Structure 1
């Protein structure tokens, strides 16, 4: 019996030590006290493991609006391809009930759309509002650049919408802030921090390799020249991608999406011309042929055979302000600085010699 009592006392000692209550109760070890102390300690331990209440919470979105998220969102609609990529990269795909027509990455999205698990709510610029309402989403994530015009209509329909910067992102860092904004909505900030850290590590590695490299004068065309010499200026994430890839955007003195004159381009004399085109390999070759046989042939880019057309996934990677942004920087860095990163060998990057 004495050994049994000692065992009980030792057991209680360990419990109290773990619970931080040893000093208070050590001098009061009687059979009755032992029972009460054990019960109290266990109750306190359970209380400490209860997670804090998260919802409702208030999110300040990219427009500066305070949006109340009353409970954990279980039905989510994405209005842009980059938003869809962000949601899936944060392992939130199971919550997505609908996306825009252009959302096609990761490949799982296409499979789920084909199976009818994820609905298609129309174009990036013109989502089907009636269908969106019928799907009864808990939250809609929208692009402030493309969907700002629908803000009042969203509110009129009673839809809970959070705007991220999206196409209005001015820098790569803005894209990372978008990712973290989405994590707050779903209480997955730890996942977001890991993703952002991974992207940042990739960007730092590229920056280190380019430390001693010279800047390459670059023109990025947003489509074939036949539609006009449309390109990107400062204040847009694509301009920052060019800079981080070791280039100098010849249109950087302008702001936003702008159309250059032929004279301006020839005067700036880009060393590399990159065209972003929605099309096939044959379409890409046709664009290169158009550039080579135009007045743009006077540029160093054409003279030195440094004209490239990005189609398919390569076009998407560079055009979308999402979690593949480090890949976008590396993709352009391989074009601008092949001496450092090696030749760009992708079927969706078509060159003059390809």
Structure 2
């Protein structure tokens, strides 16, 4: 085609008009993509409860309702020959400027609802889809996990909901913005087709994990080696992706991602195995009635106890603030304290029964905390490494 963009717009128009041939073609292509997404995501233990078709937002009249409602508001305008919502009125109200944290350096441009050819923009469909999520799931909050480069569009969606009278929805629609993942020495570009797939990244993570395991362990069967390498590879990727604030770029460094000695998934997995082994070697049930709680006075034991006790607070804070990195920082810190403590203060060789039971209960609490956090983060647990 001489003008591919024009041809795409024609197809989009026919699609929104429910042309059967175009709809069948679109669905076939999208299903191929979604099948690929499912296959890749399943490798790292990710699954979605529901896959929504954007076409349903149009065909179930959600978009039509948005357009009709917009035309009845004072924010409706014609912008560059297209129907749009104008946000200039928001800047006249200091409370709204503060509420939406509107930028002062520039004015939010009007959001086009429908082009002159009758097709809608994805932001229009996003307004409709956000409303659909609130209504169909009776949601108190809706969190859209979308790249940081869409900040302007997501702000327009929120402002549009407010302008249309959906004030509760506008205030409870959250854009969880994430920055890009960068690889040292690699210049990625979506437009130029330069990218690294998750599949290839996972394959390399597993291969590197296997190499490290072979240095550290001998006598593993192929099945054991495969299981451990995959668990470490998957864990390494998942830890890395949530180890920094979402709105900060992530530089993917293999030496850090697969560091068995500090701040990584393999480090946490290894710490879990250490705690598990201590409890196995203890070879006896922890007698609660025999625990000597005076043993908690030793500084490192006390530090471990206090840090472990903070877990529910950190978990609630991470959830409320949408900051999984707080959970990562916390559990890594707990592992650091544990790995400093246990070689200096042996559990199994402790002669005093009450102190031994106290230290064993501390190890159990740490093991349970690591197990719970890794479960939340989707990092596989291992029983040996």
- Greater Rg over alpha carbons, structure: 1
TM-score range, shorter chain: under 0.3
* Structure richer in strand, relative to its length: 1
* TM-score of the aligned structures, taking structure 2 as reference length: 0.21
* Structure richer in helix, relative to its length: 2
* TM-score of the aligned structures, taking structure 1 as reference length: 0.22
